[in-house]
Structure 1
Amino acid sequence: MSAQPWRQFGDGPLSRAAASVHILLVVELLLVLTTLPGLVPLVLLGPDPRNLPLVAACLLPVGPAVSAALYALRHQRPDLTDLRPAAAFRRGYRANLPAVLRVWAPMLLWLTVIAVNLAHLPAAAVPIWWAVPLVLVGLGVSLVGANALLIASLFTFRTRDALRLALHFLVRAPGVTVGNAALLAAAAGVTAVFSEAVLALLAALFVLAFLRIGAPMIDTIRTEFTA
């Protein structure tokens, strides 16, 4: 008699909402903990172009943390009475770390080079309109990197194949591309208006939105590019 009410509790809409909140809170806590070594110095760094390489170094732990969060949110058990988001986060972190760093580190390097060039345009005595192609290249690198990060987090491809798929879906899935661009803009806006710390506190929601935006790409890859 007691097992049936518990099963119904686990399947009801209120239980599903509570489970979703629980998962997001656990993932948020783990995101903060795994990015804390870079987040603390990042918040303390001043807005000096000379600090841009240090900013990139501080952001290095973000890629694996976001990847683990994507994995944890994607691989939740259907049984709401047996939620283990922390275990899924740890499993995703360990499994994805090498592949994600092979995508994340070069992307940070490219973006750092572009940011340094943008910061020193006046000193280089080049036309100001050079900023436009640099910004466009930076946006393209960010969007391809976002696709590649999502692919590396949920699938097992060689790095060059993950990058090819990321570039391919930049054009094939315009909805995903536009959605990711809007998400990047929102993240930049939160950082500019508030701080990196506020963005970190909203990280789980941004990762969930990133996963939902990329769902059409994920489904297509699973159907067409995996056995």
Structure 2
Amino acid sequence: MRTPAEHGSGPLSQIAGAVFRYTVLGLCLVVTCAPTLVVIVLLGQGSSTVPFQVLALLPVAPALSAGLWAVRGWQQDADASAFLLFVRGCRRNVGDVLRWWVPTLAVGGVLGANVALADVVPGAELVRGLSIVVAVLLPLWSGQMLIVTTFFAFRTRDAARIAAAELFSSWRVTLAHVSLLVVAVGVVRLGTEALLLFCAWAFVALLEVSSRPTVRDVRVRFTVRA
């Protein structure tokens, strides 16, 4: 599939190419994350469903990683196929991403249960405060981890340490991730989960832009140039 950018270098061609690429990216994200939306809708609201809603997020991180890979790819080559870049990102990164995303979701499910069921489970109130703190830090660390495992090929444990270091050293990027999380929660609260899914392409684009300092820092500090 070839993009409209190949047929000219003028402003209109560039705009058409960008619209085409982001449309393809949006459709890819909708298809890959649709199972998450279906499961969350079918589960409904309720404290007992929180762990299952967290586990339903399994396809999200690999999809975001593939989207980031696609955005970075067509910035380097505007004529590259957006769909093929997304598929290539999935194949390249899905294993690395799932190696940390699955245990992260498991921990998130436990934390969600601790917070949601603290009023009805004896003793749960004692760990509620700690669970809230960890539940706040976990998605921020996950954001840095997503960037590291998308654009670099470290071992999982090394990537985890680097992401933890970047959480504080690249604090501006962390704040940008916080802003994106706040906006995402606002979209869900004021709209629906489906609206957030259809806006996922914009979040991926903003995430790629905001995370460039982390990519540069990791490349300088933790990689060796040939």
Counterpart for residue 173 of structure 2: 176
Return the offset for 1:79.
5.0
Cα distance, 1:196 vs structure 2 = 1.1
Output the CA distance in 2 between the equivalents of 1:66 and 1:100.
10
The partner residue of 1:94 within 80, 84, 91 is 91
Q: Distance in 2 between matches of 1:158 and 1:27?
A: 28
The equivalent of 1:217 in structure 2 is: 214
Residue 43 of structure 1: how far off its partner (Å)? 2.0
Q: Residue 3 of structure 1 aligns with which residue?
A: none
> Could you give the per-residue CA deviations for residues 106-156 of structure 1, whole angstroms, max 9, x where no partner exists?
111111111100111112356969644322211111111111011111111
Alpha-carbon distance in structure 1 between the residues aligned to 2:123 and 2:52: 26
Structure 1 pair 99/10, CA: closer, same or farther in 2 (3 Å)?
same
Write the distance in 1 (CA, Å) between the matches of 2:120 and 2:143.
31
Q: TM-score, normalised by structure 1?
A: 0.89
Listed one character per residue, the Cα deviations across residues 8-42 of structure 1 (whole Å, up to 9, x for unaligned) are x7333332222222111101100111122222122
In the alignment, the residues of structure 2 paired with residue 97 and residue 46 of structure 1 have an alpha-carbon distance, to the nearest angstrom, of: 28
Q: How does 1:112-191 map to 2 (within 5 A)?
A: 112-125=109-122, 131-191=128-188
Q: Residues 94, 30 of structure 1: CA spacing in aligned structure 2 closer, same or farther, 3 A cutoff?
A: same
Kindly state the Cα deviation for residue 94 of structure 1 after the two structures are TM-superposed.
Answer: 0.7
1:9-158 map, 5 Å: 10-76=8-74, 78-80=76-78, 82-125=79-122, 131-158=128-155
Cα deviation 1:47-101 (Å, max 9, x = unaligned): 1122123212321011111111010011116554x23010010011011011000
The runs of 5 or more residues in structure 1 that have no matched partner are: 1-5
**Secondary structure in 2 matching 1:59:** coil
Under a length normalisation based on structure 2, what TM-score does the superposition of the two structures give? 0.89
How many residue pairs are counted as aligned between the two chains?
Answer: 220
Task: Tell me if structure 2 keeps the 8 A contact 1:77–1:83.
Answer: no
* Residues 213 and 132 of structure 1: CA distance in aligned 2, closer, same or farther (over 3 Å): farther
The answer to whether the 8 A contact 2:111-2:135 is kept is: yes
CA root-mean-square deviation: 2.1
Task: Decide which moves more: 14-23 or 92-101.
Answer: 14-23
